[in-house]
Structure 1
Amino acid sequence: MAPAVKILVVDDIEQNLIALDALVARPDLILLKATSGAEALELLLEHDVALALVDVQMPGMDGFELAEFMRGSPRTRHVPIIFLTATDRSQQRTFRGYEAGAVDFLYKPFDPHILRSKLQTFVQLHAQKLQLAEQLEVQQQLLRTNELFVAVLGHDLRTPLAAVMTAAEVLSRIGGDERVLGAASRIRNSTRRMTRMVNQLLDLARVRAGQVGLQREMLDMGRVCRDIVDEISPPSAEQRVSVDTNGDTLGYWDVDRISQVLSNLIGNALQHGDPGQMVSVHIDGSQSETLRLSVQNAGIIPPEKIAKLFEPFQSGAPRPANSPGLGLGLYIANELVRVHGGSLSVCSGVARGTVFEMMLPRKDDVERSPVDLAPAAQSPALR
């Protein structure tokens, strides 16, 4: 059964408290009675109430003063207050009551049906609030459990993956039978793909747990970008990526995190763009406070996919069965840019193809996440 809802009734006349108790008594309600404002505040320190029925005229602390005290405390700030008063209707007193935090006035003698109706409304609202709070706690607990599971799984998978990779390297160096060399190559490629997936899962867990830390240092964005292009382009392939810079390309950023973002953006452009067209990377350092970097390719992302492109497990194009990623790359890239205080956006159309644009402040003095001492993933987080 649902717990009983508590209602606070404050009146300096004992007979009025008895009458209210008889009027609104229900098995699912508990009436907390106070004969003064001070006594009411003591009860509010001990109990969570769904509604306060407060008499206006009381000796010492009147109802308006009690309401002001309640609104000044975080614990009772959101408790609805209905004033009960036997005085004549006064616009000035009504305004003062609403300024003090009242949600309604009832003038004595009031209609019992009206009081019960209003009481029922606030009891239902309180029950809904408790239900939503319980659901939120369950959701948060599930999320924490899921993130812990992903982090532990990713960490524990690294050791056997390293052993498999070492065995594949040993097989490839032994030589001999072509079938052995072919099997070693397939094992090595599959292990690398699994390692990239594990790294993406670990990054996802860090992002959602708010543990993405930054180690800022002075960087040349042009040089970092060219290093990434050299790293992810096959040595035997024709150079398909052009990098041009304009203005000052220096700033204070985390080299590992920025490299991860660039690896994702340029790798996506190479993977999903027209293989016969160049991928253009432009770095605009003409603004003193902000650097703009764009990655353009000849591919087109369907309009219906752009809205969810930066959400987890999404992709701008269908992923083949042997895809090296989980659809987390752009989500992680967007979060890493956000932690730097910047923004990542995309536009796609026939005229220009697909353009990802990253805006980064050159220096951000406000650290947006706690420092994460875990090593950053080094391999590109490609989709």
Structure 2
Amino acid sequence: MTENINILVVDDIKQNLVAFEALLSRPGINVLKANSGVEALELLLTNEVALALVDVQMPQMNGFELAELVRGSDRTRTVPLIFLTAATHERDAHFRGYEAGAVDFMYKPIDNDVLLSKVNVFVELYTQRKQLARQLEELRQALTLNEMFTAVLGHDLRNPLSAILHGSELLLRTNDDPQVCTNARRIKFSAGRMAKMVDQLLDVARIRSNGLVLEPAQIDYRDMCQAIIEEIAEPQQRARVELTAHGDTVGKVDVDRFSQVLSNLIGNALQHGTAEAPVAIDIDGQQADRIRVRVRNGGLIPPAQLPDLFNAFQASPESRTSRNGLGLGLYIVKKFVDAHGGTVQATSSTGAGTVFEITMPRAAGAGTLRPGA
């Protein structure tokens, strides 16, 4: 059922109120009548009003004074006001009226057709504003529900995925049947890929809901990179990775979050780089206040993709084809680096390959990555 729209008419002459009610009343429109400024304020405090028609010349509190009080309240400041006056078109009165918050003036005797036309415009604007507010609230609730669903789903998927990973690992260790081992490796790879997707969904849910609280600790960036290389690279891939370091590579950083950054960039470099070109990781700690990490591979990123590379769900064409990711990895990389107060940028060109460069403050403090940051 559609709620009636209220229009307030303020006039100290009763016959005028009756006439306005007869003119404006129709299905869906409710005319509220006030014969003084005080009564008008009471009605405005208890009713939502689409438009107020206010007589200027009233005893005790005139229309200008009422308008100033209406504009001074958070609840009523957005109510459109049309002044009704029998006075001549005086410039000073116009100036004071618009200064008090009027959107229009009408002069008595009122032209009914003109008044109805103006009222209809404001009723339509009010209806559109209410509809937009409802749509925004529905969208907000849908986003909240979606983020909650993602977090719950990700959390509940972790236990069965762990069981699948452990089971496949056990099969590989205890069975010599080639067909069983092939299937076990396939299960292990697929479960690991799904676990990575779940972790990304959980990270995005945290970023977009309650925020991520950083817990910085002192660590050597070189040791962190070496650990990631040994963790994510297959033995035959490690020979492709070249790690170099210069200067003091010890800094303060959230180890878990920055390890995810490195894991993502190094994993992408191994996956999308050319087989003949090495993956070069260079850590530059020669500056007193910052540490730079560069991850280079021989692959190329199309120029059209570079501007949106760190946006959510911008998976590479290779990822879309092989279904290796959700397109959230680089989005999470940027959010984590931003949370530390650092920067990350990507360049890609023929000859130089693709380079991701991260610049981190050497002493990143504790902070929180807030939703929408």
Using structure 2 for the length normalisation, give the TM-score. 0.86
Instruction: Give how far 1:220 is off.
Output: 4.6
Distance 1:211 1:357 in 2: 25
SS of 2:213's equivalent?
coil
Taking every aligned residue pair, what percent have the same amino acid on both sides? 50
Relative to structure 1, the CA distance from residue 247 to residue 46 in structure 2 (aligned partners, 3 Å threshold; closer, same or farther) is farther
| Change over 3 Å in CA distance of 1:205–1:115 after alignment to 2 | same
- Cα deviation for residue 30 of structure 1 reads 0.8
Contact between 2:340 and 2:367, CA under 8 Å: does it hold in 1? no
The 5 A counterparts of 1:10-21 are 10-21=10-21
In the other structure, the counterpart of 1:31 is 31
Count, aligned residues: 369
What SS is found at the alignment partner of 1:105?
strand
Match of 2:159 in 1: 159
C-alpha distance in 1, partners of 2:309/2:325?
Answer: 14
CA positional deviation for 1:355: 3.4
- Residue 263 of structure 1 is matched in structure 2 by 263
How far residue 351 of structure 1 moved from its aligned partner, in angstroms, is 6.0
- 1:250 lines up with 2:251 in the alignment: yes
Equivalent residue for 1:131? 131
Which region of structure 1 is more displaced relative to structure 2, 27-36 or 344-353?
344-353
Give me the whole-angstrom Cα distance separating, in 2, the residues matched to 1:97 and 1:240: 74
Letter in 1 for 2:6: K
**Root-mean-square deviation (Å):** 2.9
CA distance in 2, matches of 1:341, 1:56: 57
In structure 2, do the counterparts of structure 1 residues 241 and 41 end up closer, same or farther at CA, with 3 Å as the change threshold? farther
- Which sits farther off after the overlay, 219-228 or 321-330? 219-228
User: Residue in 2 aligned with 1:99?
Assistant: 99
Distance 1:314 1:122 in 2: 43
Q: CA deviation at 1:177?
A: 2.4
| Deviation readout 1:108-146 (Å, 9 max, x if unpaired) | 223222211111111111111111112222222222222
Per the alignment, do residues 75 and 353 of structure 1 end up closer, same or farther by CA in structure 2, a change over 3 Å counting? Answer: farther
CA distance 1:368–1:154, shift in 2 (3 Å): closer
Contact 1:56 1:84 in 2 (8 A): yes
* Cα displacement (A) at 1:29: 0.8
| Cα drift, residue 208 of structure 1 | 2.5
Mapping of residues 203-352 of structure 1, within 5 Å: 203-236=203-236, 237-245=238-246, 250-251=251-252, 253-282=253-282, 293-319=293-319, 322-350=322-350, 352=352
Could you tell me how far apart the structure 2 residues matched to 1:68 and 1:221 are?
62
1:198 Cα deviation from its structure 2 partner? 1.6
Against the structure 1 CA distance between its residues 170 and 232, is the aligned structure 2 distance closer, same or farther, given a 3 Å change threshold? closer
Contact 2:207 2:369 in 1 (8 A): no
Structure 2: distance between partners of 1:104 and 1:341: 50
How much does 1:360 deviate? Answer: 4.6
> How is 1:144-183 mapped onto 2 (pairs within 5 angstroms)?
144-183=144-183
Mapped partners of 1:46, 1:296: distance in 2: 65
Whole-Å Cα distance in 1 between the matches of residues 52 and 133 of structure 2? Answer: 21
Distance change >3 Å, CA 15–CA 148, structure 1 → 2: same
Contact 2:297 2:353 in 1 (8 A): yes
Q: Does 1:49 align with 2:49?
A: yes
Aligned residue type for 2:117: S
Alignment of 1:342-381 (within 5 A): 342-350=342-350, 352-360=352-360, 362-363=363-364, 367-369=368-370
1:223-248 C-alpha deviation (Å, 9 max, x unpaired): 43444344333344314244445677
Q: Deviations over 1:154-199 (max 9, x none)?
A: 2222222222222222222223323333332222222212211221
Given that 1:249 and 1:284 are in contact with CA atoms closer than 8 Å, whether structure 2 keeps it comes out as: no
Structure 2: unaligned runs, 5 residues or longer: none
Q: Distance in 2 between matches of 1:121 and 1:344?
A: 50
Amino acid at match of 1:113: D
Higher helix content, 1 or 2: 2
- Tell me the distance in 2 between the aligned counterparts of 1:232 and 1:192: 11
Q: Is the 8 A contact 1:56 1:64 kept in 2?
A: yes
- Verify the 8 A CA contact 2:240 2:277 in the aligned structure 1: no
What is the match of residue 375 of structure 1?
none
SS of corresponding position for 2:125 = helix
Does the CA contact (< 8 Å) of 1:249 and 1:283 recur in 2?
Answer: no
Quick check: 2:67–2:81 contact (8 Å CA) kept in 1? yes
* SS across alignment from 1:319: helix
Structure 2 residue aligned with 1:118: 118
Q: Distance in 2 between the 1:357 and 1:76 partners?
A: 52
Letter in 2 for 1:39: E
- CA–CA distance in 1 between the matches of 2:313 and 2:270? 20
Q: What secondary structure is seen at the aligned counterpart in 1 of 2:164?
A: helix
Matches of 1:52 and 1:347 in 2, distance apart? 59
Return the alpha-carbon distance in structure 1 between the equivalents of residues 49 and 365 of structure 2.
44
Contact 1:242 / 1:278 at 8 angstroms: preserved in 2? Answer: no
Q: Secondary structure at the match of 1:78?
A: coil
1:196 & 1:291 partners in 2: Cα distance? 27
